[in-house]
Structure 1
Amino acid sequence: MNDTRREVVRALADGPVGGPELADRIGVSRAAVWKHVEALREAGFDVESDGGYRLAGVPEYGGAAVEYGLDAPYEVEYHDAVDSTNDRARELADEGADGVVVLADEQTHSKGRLDREWTSPSGGVWASVVVRPALSPAGVPVVTLAAAVATTRALREAGVDAGIKWPNDVLARDDGRKLAGILTEMEGEADRVNWVVVGVGVNVNVDAADLPATATSVRERVGDVERRAFVQRLLEAFHDLLGDSDAVLDAWREAALTLGERVRVETPGGELVGEAVDVEPPGTLVVATDDGERRVHAGDCEHLRPE
C-alpha cells in the first residue's frame, strides 16, 4: 500500500468524507480518489459511499489488511500461495528492498533449518521480513532471537502458553510440541550485513491432523484467532526489539524453555551434553559440561530427560 492510499484509508476511517474534500486534503485529483477507493474495495475493504466515503469494514487477511493499523514501518506483499516466503523475500532483498514483509496463506515448497521439510498449510502465518540492520554477520543471531521473542509474545497474547527452545523453535510449554519455527538467511561482507531475511512460520488456524505429531497449533490449543491482529502484534514486537540487543537477550531468557535443562547439542565440531545455563550476545548458548562451560554459536539442540 503506497503512502497516498494509506492517507485515503485514514481519511475514510474518520469519514464520511466527500470525494472533492478528500482530493483537496491529500492533493490528488477526484479521479485518483475514485481509483484509490476502487482499489481498496478490490482488496476487500468495505467502503460505503452514501453521503461521502466511509470505511465500514476491513478485510480479514491480506497485505493491505495487515498494513491497516500496523504500528511498524513495514510494507506487506501478500500471496494466497507461494513456494516459499523466504525465497520471494530473498528476491526482493537482492532488488534492494528493506522493511518488506512477504506474507502467504500457504507455502507449497517451504523448508526449515538444515533443509528440513516444513508443513505450511492454509490457515497458518507464513511470513518473511527483509531488514538491513547495522550489524556485522557475527551479530545476526540476535535478529533470530528477536523473531523468536516476538512470535512468543504474539502467541501468549493469543492465549497460548509458549516458550523458546534454543535458538529458534517456539514450543507449547506443557508438552513441548512445536508451534513455530524461524529460519534466518543473510548476505553480507566481512564487516557488515547487506540484508537479512527472517522467515517465521506459525501454526495458527491449522488442524492438528494437517501437522506432524510433534507439532501443535493455536487452533488446537485455544481455537481460531484473528490472523490479521496476530501478524500485526508479531511484526510490532519484532520491530521494537530490533533496535535493542540487550532487551532481546533479557526477553529471550524470560521466555526460554532451554535454560536450566539438560541438553544435547549437535555442533559442527561434534556432540555436546550438559546443562544450558545462559545465553550470551549475540545468541550464544552457554552449556555447563563435565569439562567446564562451553559456548555454542550454532547447533541443533535437544532437551534431554533428567538423569
Structure 2
Amino acid sequence: MFTIHHFRSVTSTSDVAKRYPKKSIILADIQTRGRGRLGREWSSKPGGIWMSVVLEPTENPLYHLTFLASVAVREAISTATGVQARIKWPNDLLYEKKKLCGILTEGFFIGNEKKLIVGIGLNVNNTVPGIKKTPAIALRDITKKSVSRKKLIAHIVAQLEQWHLLYASIGFLPVLLAWKANNAVLGQRIKIHKGKTAFTATPVDVDEDGNLIVMQGENKQTVTDGDILLL
C-alpha cells in the first residue's frame, strides 16, 4: 500500500519525494518548478494532478517503470472518466494528438540509498497553456464537466499497485503488451528529433528494450531516444 503525503505548493513533487521512503506518494496542488522530459518546464496550475511515486529500487531498466506508469494512468483515466487516452512513445498520454499527461522516471542515489521516482503530471480541471507546437488538453475539456481529482487519484494509486504487483511477479511482457494495445504511434507518420537533427518515419514496433522500431522508406531503424511529433 502507498502512503499519500499532500502539499499545497512545492517546487516539484519529485524533489520532495527524494526525502521520503519507498511506497510514498507526494501530491501537490501546485508545482512552481514542475518539469518534464529533456528539462522542459511543465505547467502545474491548480486543478491538475501533480504527483510523484517512490518505488522499490530495482536492477531492471528505468524505461520499464515509465511504460508501467503510462499504462496504469491510462487505465485509471479510462475507469474514472471513460476517456480513452493513447500512449505516445515513450511517456506521454495523448487525446486526439493533444498532451493530456506527462510521465518522468528518475533513478539516482542519495548517499548510498538508491531512489526510483515516477513523476506524473495530469491535466484534469486546470487551464492548459496554448502552445502550438505541443498542444495540451485537460480532462475537463474532453468531458465538458469538472472531474473529481480525489476519485481519479484513488484510481491511479490502485492501478499503480496492481500493475506493479503484476510486473514484480511476471515481468515486463504484460506491461509491454498493454502499452502496444493502447499506443498512439505505431503505423502513424511521425517526426523524430534527436539533438539538432530530425527525420520523418513510420513506427512499426516497440522491442523488448523499449526502443522504437521505425521504417524510413525501405530502411528499418531502431530509435533508442529522442522526441517525437505525430504528423
User: Do they superpose with TM above 0.5?
Assistant: yes
Equivalent residue in structure 1 for 2:19, among 84, 87, 91:
91
Does residue 1:252 correspond to 2:173, yes or no? no
Equivalent residue in structure 1 for 2:159, among 237, 242, 251:
237
Equivalences for residues 1-307 of structure 1 within 5 A = 73-92=1-20, 97-136=21-60, 139-157=61-79, 158-172=81-95, 175-187=96-108, 194-207=114-127, 210-213=128-131, 214-222=135-143, 223-242=145-164, 243=167, 244-267=171-194, 270-290=197-217, 292-304=219-231
Aligned partners of 1:164, 1:230: CA distance in 2, in Å? 18
Contact 1:130 1:198 in 2 (8 A): yes
* Secondary structure at the counterpart of residue 18 of structure 2: helix
Question: What's the CA shift string for 1:20-63, capped at 9, x where partnerless?
Answer: xxxxxxxxxxxxxxxxxxxxxxxxxxxxxxxxxxxxxxxxxxxx
- Higher helix content, 1 or 2: 1
Aligned partners of 1:205, 1:129: CA distance in 2, in Å? 21
Change (3 A) 1:286 1:269: farther
1:239 CA drift (Å): 2.4
Aligned partners of 2:130, 2:14: CA distance in 1, in Å? 21
Aligned partners of 1:280, 1:234: CA distance in 2, in Å? 26
Aligned partners of 2:157, 2:188: CA distance in 1, in Å? 30
Give unmatched runs, 5+ long, in structure 1: 1-72
Contact 2:62 2:106 in 1 (8 A): no
Amino acid in the other structure paired with 1:110: G
With the length of structure 1 as denominator, give the TM-score of the two structures: 0.67
Matched residue count: 218
| Greater relative CO, 1 or 2 (CA 8 Å, sep 6+) | 2
Aligned partners of 1:278, 1:109: CA distance in 2, in Å? 35
1:270 CA drift (Å): 4.4
* Secondary structure at the counterpart of residue 91 of structure 1: coil
1:186 CA drift (Å): 0.7
1:177 CA drift (Å): 1.2
Give unmatched runs, 5+ long, in structure 2: none
1:273 CA drift (Å): 2.8
- Higher strand content, 1 or 2: 2
Aligned partners of 2:147, 2:16: CA distance in 1, in Å? 26
Contact 2:97 2:230 in 1 (8 A): no
Structure with bigger gyration radius: 1
1:88 CA drift (Å): 0.8
Question: What's the CA shift string for 1:129-185, capped at 9, x where partnerless?
Answer: 01124324xx1101101111111112222122211111111111xx31111101111
1:78 CA drift (Å): 0.7
1:272 CA drift (Å): 4.2
